[in-house]
């Protein structure tokens, strides 16, 4: 049985986003198509309207709930969802919802990913 | 009848499924299925977990009431509804003392028409569901002389596969049933399959473009469970063992007739034929 390929690290993701011209904001908010203002740990915005939203593990919810929140906010904001984790997240769920999991790797960026209601 | 604290002591020790106040309806809706659960209590997490109450009642989030709220929402507003805090789609659950007898739990099921209820002791609380009562039947701690044929519903509520969710849900709620059979098949679609489909990424992508289409999907597009065929003379304890917890399964017999977890528990109780048995302690 083959081993699962190692996850990209959060550091690699940031580097890639910056290299591709994304503007990265930490601990910020984004307005979704619903009109709701969502607070996010990281929002990356590209030049052609591309967006990525990154949620960090460890705000007290269980990982599945955190992943679902990242998915829903990214979905509403028209962004790609990323979830930064050290744990063994449910790969099946991540795959079903199209959430890309990345490893914390370096330093502990912490922030409040909240599903705010504006 | 058995006391709740004796028959169902385990529910006061197990984790209570909880969702944080402010969680989006879409997220709470998805969480109902990972793993499959009937109801989530809503809690504030400021300064520790504190479950929300209103008066003496617990604030909770559950699938069937969620669908009722969606049906009552203007189709153009359904997308926005998904991004409201889950407490906007909540229900209030009264609680039963663990010192009460099991009849209180069944009365609560019957009164609310939901197969779950809150139970409280002096220092703990939990949610009891129909699945817990089925286990008591399976273990012989509850017993009845009725057979599967005695509790089956017939005719079975059926609709054509091309019926829209909106139409099907209206009819299910009018009849207060959770399942509908797709005409000409042994396939059953329940409120849970409808929710799973609505909250699937593919369906959400469609709804993002046009809110109105959310409940326009048809029964045959949703997932389904196939009824398990059983002998009509089967004892209800044996039938309870066939329905696996959280499976959403139901039973059918040769000929016509549907048996759900509700039928296995509530019909014997309503007819005075459910009593404490001599089975082993769970």
CATH code of A84's domain: 3.40.1350.10
Calculate mean pLDDT across residues B239-249: 81
> Structure pTM?
0.88
Of A8-22, B74-88, B147-161, the least confident: A8-22
Domain total in chain A:
1
Residues A96 and B199: beta-carbon distance below 8 Å: no
Residue A110 lies in a domain: no
Q: How far apart are CA B22 and CA B87, in angstroms?
A: 7
A89 phi, psi to nearest 5 deg: -70, 165
Our CA-based measurement puts residue A65 at a distance from the nearest CA of chain B, in whole angstroms, of: 7
Mean predicted confidence (pLDDT) in B159-187: 95
Nearest CA in chain A to B205: A75
State the pLDDT confidence band at B45, using cuts at 50, 70 and 90.
confident
Residues facing B97 on adjacent strands: B120
Confidence grade of residue B281 (pLDDT, cut at 50, 70, 90)? very low
Q: Is B255 exposed, middle or buried (0-12, 13-18, 19+ CB in 10 A)?
A: exposed
Residue A37 contacts residue A29 (beta carbons within 8 Å): yes
- Domain annotation covers residue A114: no
Taking any CB pair shorter than 8 Å as contact, residues of chain A touching chain B are 32-36, 60-61, 64-65, 68-69, 71-73, 75-76, 90, 93, 96-98, 114-117
Classify residue A5: in a domain, yes or no: no
When CB atoms are compared, the residue of B27, B45, B80 closest to A68 is: B27
Secondary structure element (H or E) that encloses residue B151, with its range: helix B148-151
Residue A93 lies in a domain: yes
Least Cα distance to B18 among B64, B52, B46 occurs for: B52
Return the structure tokens found at A17.
Answer: 């986003």
Residue A71 lies in a domain: yes
Tokens of A79: 């962004």
Structure confidence by residue, pLDDT tens digits, A63-106: 888 999 999 999 999 999 999 988 777 888 899 999 999 988 75
3-state secondary structure of B41: strand
Domain span at residue A36 reads: 10-103
> Is A116 within the bounds of a domain?
no
| CA distance linking residue B129 with residue B138, whole number of Å | 15
Rounded to 5°, angle at Cα B14 from B11 and B15: 125
Q: How confident is the model at residue B256 (pLDDT cuts 50, 70, 90)?
A: confident
User: What is chain A's alpha carbon radius of gyration, rounded to the nearest angstrom?
Assistant: 14
CA B229, CA B269: separation in Å to the nearest integer? 24
* Shortest distance, CA A32 to any CA of chain B (angstroms): 9
Question: What ipTM is given for this predicted complex?
Answer: 0.86
All structural domains of chain B: 4-140 (3.10.580.10), 148-275 (3.10.580.10)
Contact residues of B toward A, CB < 8 A: 19-20, 22-24, 26-27, 30-31, 34, 45, 79-80, 82-85, 201, 204, 208
The answer to the question of residue A112 being in a domain is no
Residue A113 lies in a domain: no
């Amino acid at each position: 049985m083959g081993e699962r390929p190692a996850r990209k690290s959060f550091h690699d993701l940031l580097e890639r986003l910056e290299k591709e011209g994304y503007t990265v904001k930490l601990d910020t908010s984004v307005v979704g198509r619903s009109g709701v203002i969502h607070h996010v740990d990281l929002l990356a915005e590209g030049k052609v309207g591309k967006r990525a939203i990154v949620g960090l593990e460890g705000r007290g919810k269980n990982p599945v709930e955190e992943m679902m929140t990242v998915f829903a906010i990214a979905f509403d904001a028209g962004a790609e969802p990323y979830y930064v984790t050290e744990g063994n997240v449910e790969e099946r769920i991540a795959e079903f919802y199209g959430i890309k999991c990345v490893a914390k790797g370096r330093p502990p960026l912490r922030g409040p990913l909240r599903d705010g209601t504006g | 009848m058995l006391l709740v604290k004796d028959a169902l002591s385990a529910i006061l020790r197990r984790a209570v499924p909880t969702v944080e106040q402010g969680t989006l309806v879409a997220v709470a809706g998805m969480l109902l299925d990972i793993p499959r659960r009937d109801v989530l209590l809503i809690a504030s997490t400021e300064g520790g977990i504190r479950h929300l109450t209103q008066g003496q009642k617990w604030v909770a989030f559950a699938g069937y009431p969620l669908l009722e709220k969606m049906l009552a929402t203007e189709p153009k507003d359904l997308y926005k509804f998904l991004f409201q805090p889950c407490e906007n789609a909540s229900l209030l659950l009264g609680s039963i003392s663990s010192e009460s007898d099991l009849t209180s739990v069944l009365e609560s099921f019957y009164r609310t028409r939901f197969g779950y209820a809150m139970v409280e002791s002096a220092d703990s609380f939990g949610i009891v569901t129909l699945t817990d009562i089925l286990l008591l039947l399976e273990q012989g701690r509850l017993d009845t002389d009725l057979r599967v044929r005695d509790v089956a519903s017939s005719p079975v509520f059926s609709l054509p596969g091309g019926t829209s969710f909106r139409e099907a849900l209206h009819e299910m709620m009018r009849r207060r049933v959770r399942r509908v059979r797709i005409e000409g098949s042994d396939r059953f679609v329940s409120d849970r399959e409808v929710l799973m489909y609505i909250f699937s990424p593919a369906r959400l992508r469609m709804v993002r473009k046009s809110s109105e289409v959310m409940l326009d999907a048809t029964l045959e597009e949703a997932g389904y469970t196939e009824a398990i065929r059983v002998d009509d003379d089967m004892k209800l304890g044996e039938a309870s063992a066939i329905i696996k917890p959280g499976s959403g399964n139901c039973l059918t017999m040769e000929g016509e007739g549907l048996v759900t977890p509700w039928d296995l528990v509530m019909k014997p109780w309503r007819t005075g034929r459910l009593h404490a048995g001599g089975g082993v302690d769970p």
